[in-house]
Homo-oligomer: A and B are copies of this chain.
Amino acid sequence: MATPKLYVDHLSQPCRSCLVLFRMAGIPCEEVRVTLGRQEQRKPEFLAVNPLGKVPALQDGDLCLPESSAIMQYMCSTRSLEDHWYPSNVRDRALINAAMAWHASSLRIGSMLTVWNRAITLNLGVPGNEQLVQSYGLPTLQAALKALDDVWLRDGSFVAGQAQISIADLLLACEVEQLCLLDGAVQGPGMEELLGPHSRLLAWLDRVRSACSPHYDDVHALLRKSRQRLVERKQAPGASKM
């Protein structure tokens, strides 16, 4: 089978979930960087691969596939990955599909709106929409973190009652990691404050990190650097007047 191309930005959480899966499963792939901060997802050569203008995108032969959850489902169905990533048992698979669908409409929206408007805009030097964060983004994020802890991690060591790690864990964990950028935000809770009340979630996040070592940390290196830059800027004299 020809080497697939994976179009990614390591600062994008759905991209990181795909990268961790590829590396954990030892799937050879050509990683093509699409830097969102430079608007490379709007360039014609990338739009020819994914007309939606979003990363990640997979090119496998003549198939161009968007959406991280679909990319991971597809890789599990076409390569010989260990069954726990996307169990063939129909009941387990259904619950993993449900967790990934829930991610897209709840945790992802809450996290994306909050992190974008409170942190990424600082990096880009554009104003954030604080009203949007307060009226929708942050409440959605906080409710989703509670549901992840209360419902999805209620039974079993991994998401949806699984005993071993699955692609749903990768998708959700990489989303939660994005919250570290809030440590550099001028206002509002940072990652520790947001996750603090959720002990099951914290223990699960450690399990995911550890199950995917060392690839997990490698894939998150750029995010950690970005967090560090934001925190340093916040601590610089006069930063609060920005």
Identify the A interface with B (CB < 8 A): 51-52, 63, 65-71, 73-74, 77-78, 90-91, 93-95, 97-98, 100-102, 104-105, 108-109, 113, 129, 131-132, 135-136, 147, 150-151, 154
| Smallest Cβ-Cβ distance to A73: which chain B residue | B97
Q: How far is the CA of A71 from the CA of B102 in the complex (A)?
A: 12
The answer to whether B100 touches A105, judged by C-beta atoms less than 8 angstroms apart, is: no
Question: For A129, what are the chain B residues with a Cβ–Cβ distance below 8 Å?
Answer: 135-136
- Name the residue among A74, A105, A129, A154 with the largest chain B CB count within 10 angstroms: A105
| Smallest Cβ-Cβ distance to A61: which chain B residue | B91
Q: How far is the CA of A77 from the CA of B73 in the complex (A)?
A: 15
How many copies are assembled?
2
Question: For A136, what are the chain B residues with a Cβ–Cβ distance below 8 Å?
Answer: 113, 129, 132, 136
Query: Which among B69, B90, B135, B147 is the interface contact of A97 at CB below 8 angstroms?
Result: B69
Q: How far is the CA of A104 from the CA of B69 in the complex (A)?
A: 12
| Smallest Cβ-Cβ distance to A62: which chain B residue | B91
Question: For A100, what are the chain B residues with a Cβ–Cβ distance below 8 Å?
Answer: 101
The answer to whether B102 touches A105, judged by C-beta atoms less than 8 angstroms apart, is: no
Q: How far is the CA of A101 from the CA of B14 in the complex (A)?
A: 12
Query: Which among B73, B109, B135 is the interface contact of A109 at CB below 8 angstroms?
Result: B109
